[in-house]
């Protein structure tokens, strides 16, 4: 297995990531993906329109909102 050095990571990182604050990852948590189950669900038209307007993967965003609710 090839190990990547910190210098190589810094050299190849996208420019947007070069100036992130030192504490950027302090609140981060590892999230292990879970298996999805296809279901049929009825939602109000305006709710669907809201999420679809934000672009592709709107169903994933709906799932994220529901997950946040469950975790609270």
Position 22 in a domain: no
User: pLDDT per residue over 23-54, tens digit each?
Assistant: 988 989 888 888 999 999 999 999 999 999 99
Position 7 in a domain: no
Whole-number percent of the chain with pLDDT over 90? 56
Position 5 in a domain: no
Position 55 in a domain: yes
Half-sphere exposure of 5 (CA within 13 A, CB side): 3
Residue ranges making up the domain that contains 43: 35-72
- DSSP H/E element including 48: helix 45-53
DSSP assignment letter at 54: T
Position 56 in a domain: yes
Position 45 in a domain: yes
pLDDT band for 1, please (50, 70, 90 cuts).
confident
Position 17 in a domain: no
pLDDT greater than 80 at residue 18: no
The reported pLDDT for the residue numbered 22 is: 85
Considering its fold, how many domains does the chain have in total? 1
Per-position DSSP letters for 9-32, written without gaps between them: HHHHS-GGGTT--TTTTTT-----
Position 65 in a domain: yes
């Amino acid at each position: 297995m090839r190990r990547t050095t910190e210098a190589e990571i810094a050299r190849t990182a996208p420019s947007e990531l070069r100036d992130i604050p030192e504490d950027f990852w302090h609140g981060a948590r590892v999230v292990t993906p879970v298996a999805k189950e296809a279901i049929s669900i009825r939602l109000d038209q305006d709710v669907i329109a809201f999420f679809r307007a934000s672009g592709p993967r709107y169903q994933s965003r709906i799932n994220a909102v529901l997950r946040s609710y469950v975790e609270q």
